[in-house]
Amino acid sequence: MFQKILIANRGEIACRVIKTARRMGIGTVAIYSEADRHSLHVQQADEAICIGPPPSAQSYLVIDKIVDACRQTGADAVHPGYGFLSENATFAKRLAAEEIAFIGPPTGAIEAMGDKITSKQLAIEAGVNTIPGFTGALENAEHAVAVAREVGYPVMLKATAGGGGKGMRVVYNDDECRNGFARASSEARSSFGDDRVFLEKYIEQPRHIEIQILADRHGHVLYLHERECSLQRRHQKVIEEAPSPAIDNLVRLEMGRQAVALARAVNYESAGTVEFIADQERNFYFLEMNTRLQVEHPVTEFVTGLDLVEWMSRVAAGQPLAFTQADVEMRGSSIEARIYAEDPFRNFLPSIGRIVRYQPPDESDSVRVDSGVYEGGEVSMYYDPLMAKLITFGATREGAIAHMRDALNEFYIRGVTHNISFLAALLDHSRFREGHLSTNLIAEEYPNGFHPSDIVHDAPALLIAVASSIHRRYMDRAAQISGQLAGYERIVHDDWVVIMHGVRHAVHVVPVAAGHEVTYGSEKYVVLSDWQFGQPLFRGTVNGNSVCLQVERRNLIYRIEHWGAQVDLRVLTARAAELLDCMPEKQPADTSKMILSPMPGIVTSLAVTAGHKVNAGQELAVIEAMKMENVLRAERDATVAKVLVSIGDTLAVDQTIMEFE
C-alpha cells in the first residue's frame, strides 16, 4: 500500500480522500492555490504545498506544478478526485513516467471514454444501447443545423471533452442550434481546452441513471448497482439517490451487464461510472462513461457498505477485489443533496464571501456530511460553488427522505446565500415523493425560476406556536430587570398577536414546566425545549413531536426557517399590532433604467456601446462566474446611455454595468 498520497484537488472531495487515507494509515499531501491558502483540505492534510495563483489554469490544472509537488513531498501516488485533471490522460501518463501511481484507470481507458465520439463508437461495438445521432465532430454552426434537421429536433449539442453540464445545450430550432453551437464550443474551449462539439437526439422526459463499476487489474469487473440522478438544473445534478425508484431487477441486471461489457472493452481498472439515459418505458441508452470518482458516490457507499476511495487505492496498488458480484448487496435507500453557495431566488446566481456561521447536522448511521468549508472560511469566485454534500440513509426511500428533511432543518449557514430552501422544496414535491422523475422536472415545475411563494409550509401553526414560546421567554427575561419601581413592576401578559404574512393570529401563552402551552384557535400546543437565548437552532418537542427550527431574532421580528420555508413573524400586544398599521414603508430604489450584475464575476464580452439602440432580448454582455458563461439580455427596447465597465473587469453583485436613456 502507498505511504503517501497527494490529492490533486480541493474542497470537499479533497477532504473526503483525506478521511479514508487517514483511516488506512496513509499520509496525505494537499495542494492549494493562493486563494485556498486557508481552506479546510489544507488544514486537514499532513502536508500542503502552494502551486500558484487562484485561476485553475495557473494552479490546479498545471501538471508540472503538481508533479513537482509530488517530488518535493515524496508522494508515491496521486488521487485526482473529480474535475480538474481527474480525466486527463496526459496527466496520468506524466505520473507514470515519474513512477508515481495514478489512483484511477489506465490512460487508454481515459482517452477512449474521455472523447464522447470515440466512447459512443466503442459502446456500439461492445453491444451497449446508444442514442441516435451524429457521432463525428461538427464543423461549424451551419453544419450543426444541417445535421440537426436530419436527426430531427429537439437535439442536444455536447462538448466532446465535456462534463458537468458545461458545453451542453438542448435546442429546438435552427436559431437555437446556431446560438447553442457557439455557446457550447466556447464553454468547451474555456473549460476543457477542446472546442469540438457533437450532436445527439434529445430523449423527451428522460431519466438519468448511472451504474457504478469497480474493476481491478486481475480481470475482475463488478457493478455496484445504480444511482438515479434525474433531478438536475441546467444539466447540473442537484439531488441523487440509490437505488432508482424506477428500475426493477431485470433492467438493473441488463444495465449492469452492459456497463461491465463496456468496462471490459477498454480494459478498465478502478472506480468508474457508466451513465445511461432512460425513457419513461425503461428503455435505456448509453450517455457517457466517467473514468473517475463521481460527486454522488456516497449514496452507493451507503447502500453497499463499500468505501470507493479505499478500493480505488487498493486497486491502484495492485490488490485484487476481495469480493465478487454475488457479494455486492443493496440495502435500504440513500439520498444526496448538494449544498451550493447560490441564491435560488435570484436564478441560482453564485454567492461568494465569508461564511460567518457554519453548523452542519450531526453525523450518524443515517446522516453523513462531506464538507469542504468551515465557519470563518470563504467561498471563492474562482471555483465551483459546492460547499458540502448532505447524504442520508434509511431502510426505505421514505425513511431516507425523512432523514434528509430533518437534516436540512439542522444545516445552519450564514454569510453566504445557499440553496437549502430549494432542496427542501424538491424533497417535498409530489413528483419526487412519488418517484416520477425526469431531467426536465425542475424546468417544468419552476418554469419562471424558484420563488419564495413556491415554498408552502404545511404546518403554520407550528411556526406560530414556537415563535410565541420564544417571545414569551424574552418577555419574561426582560421583566426580571433590576431597579424597577415598587408597585410599577413590568407585568408580562398571556395574550399576544402573532403577525405572519400580514395576517394576525391571536394566541394565549402560559408557562409550563420546561416550556409553554400555546393556545391558538381551538388547539393547544405544548412547546418544550431547553433552548437558550441566542442559539440558532430551536430543538424541542411540540405536542410530543420532535422539531428543529432555525431561529433568529431581528429587533421585533423572529425569522424562522423550517422545511425550506423562511418566515418572518412579529409577536406583539394587541395595541402594538394596531399601531404597526400606521408605520410607513420604505420604497426600493428605481433600477429600471440600469442593468446590474446579477452575480460576482468577470466581464468577458460587451456587445453594445453608448448610443446603441437595443431591442428586448438582445445580448448586452457576458459575465463568467464559477466556470459558467451567463448572458445578460435587454428586458425592453432602449438606448444605451453609458457603459460603466470594460472587458476583463471583476464585478460585484448588483454592480451597475450599463445605464439606459
Active-site residues, by number, are 288
Q: Let me know the angle formed at the C-alpha of 89 by 211 and 165, rounded to the nearest 5 degrees.
A: 50
DSSP, res 618: -
- 358: which residues sit within 8 A by CB, 6+ positions away? 373, 374, 375, 376, 377, 412, 413, 414, 415
d(CA 387, CA 493): 45
Q: Helix, strand, or coil here: 259? A: helix
**532: exposed, middle or buried (C-beta count within 10 Å: 0-12, 13-18, 19+)?**
exposed
Count how many residues are written for the chain. Answer: 661
Residue recorded with cell 439517490: 241
Rounded distance between C-alpha atoms, residue 4 and residue 160, angstroms: 34
- 288 is written with which cell numbers? 457517457
State the chain's maximal CA–CA distance in angstroms: 93
* Rounded Cα–Cα distance for residues 239 and 231 (Å): 6
| Numbers of helices and strands, H then E, in the chain | 17, 39
The C-alpha angle 541, 544, 549, rounded to 5 degrees, equals 25
Nearest to 360 by CA among 407, 326, 400: 407
Non-local CB neighbours of 174 within 8 Å, separated by 6+ positions: 145, 148, 149
CA angle, corner 366, sides to 363 and 367, nearest 5?
Answer: 35
- 3-state DSSP helix/strand/coil percent for the chain, to nearest 5? 30, 35, 40
Q: Which of 7, 232, 208 is nearest to 104 (CA)?
A: 7
Closest CA to 160 of 179, 185, 141: 185
What lies within 8 Å, CB to CB, of 148 at 6+ separation is 155, 171, 174, 177, 199
Angle between helices 107-114 and 89-97 (to 10 degrees): 170
Rounded CA separation 264/120 (Å):
15
Instruction: Supply 223's cell numbers.
Output: 457493478
Say if CB 300 and CB 212 are below 8 A apart: yes
Q: DSSP secondary-structure letter at 363?
A: P
3-state DSSP of 369-438: EEECCCCCCEECCCCCCEEEEEEEEECCHHHHHHHHHHHHHHCEEECCCCCHHHHHHHHCCHHHHHCCCC
Instruction: Tell me how far CA of residue 509 lies from CA of 131, 420, 476, 486, 495, in angstroms.
Output: 63, 32, 12, 26, 6
| Helix 141-151 / helix 174-192 crossing angle, nearest 10 deg | 120
Task: Return d(Cα 370, Cα 636) in angstroms, integer.
Answer: 44
Question: Is residue 230 within 8 Å of residue 315, measured between CB atoms?
Answer: no
